[in-house]
Structure 1
Amino acid sequence: MTLRGRHWIAVWLVALLAALSLVIARQTAALNAARALTDLREERAALEGRRADLERRARTGQSRAVLLPRAQRLGLRLPADTEIILLPTQSEPPRPPEPRDRR
């Protein structure tokens, strides 16, 4: 049984429709991925802005202009130079203590 003209047209039409369906599916997936990427970029920009705001607030909160009035309200005072002890962190190797000049 050989295919006649009408059958060949039907076969090619089905093949064309299958190929076009694959193209449409690929384009739809690409559009969905592009939308997701845009959403993620917007979310990242918002998070970076929030992070910058939090870092600014942390720097402001650690500033001397903010801490001194709060400390004075609590009845605290500034330590003398001899009362300050710097503790090494785990990331840096321990240093031997520096000799203090007692006069």
Structure 2
Amino acid sequence: MIQGYADQHDMHNFFQATKTTYGPCSTGENPLQSQNGSRLLKDDDAIYLHWKEHFKLLLNREPTISEETLQVIPQRHVVDSLGIHQPSES
């Protein structure tokens, strides 16, 4: 039956039959495990705070590259005129 709707390109009945067969879409809830794995976060605010802390820890780390390594990398000459907007002549 559902295949017949798909073969006929009858999308309205195809999706209606699919919904009837498999049930409605999920509620949109996406629980997340806490950082230490002790609980499941379901509240939007708790999930937001979890991701905020995750990225804070991820992005605010001390550099892992040594100053000596940076000194070995060849440097290019700085071209000061790049990126400077020149007004167009009217």
- Structure index of larger Rg: 1
Give 1 or 2: higher strand fraction. 2
Q: TM-score, normalised by structure 1?
A: 0.26
Q: TM-score, normalised by structure 2?
A: 0.29
Bigger relative contact order, structure 1 or 2, given CA contacts below 8 A and separation 6+? 2
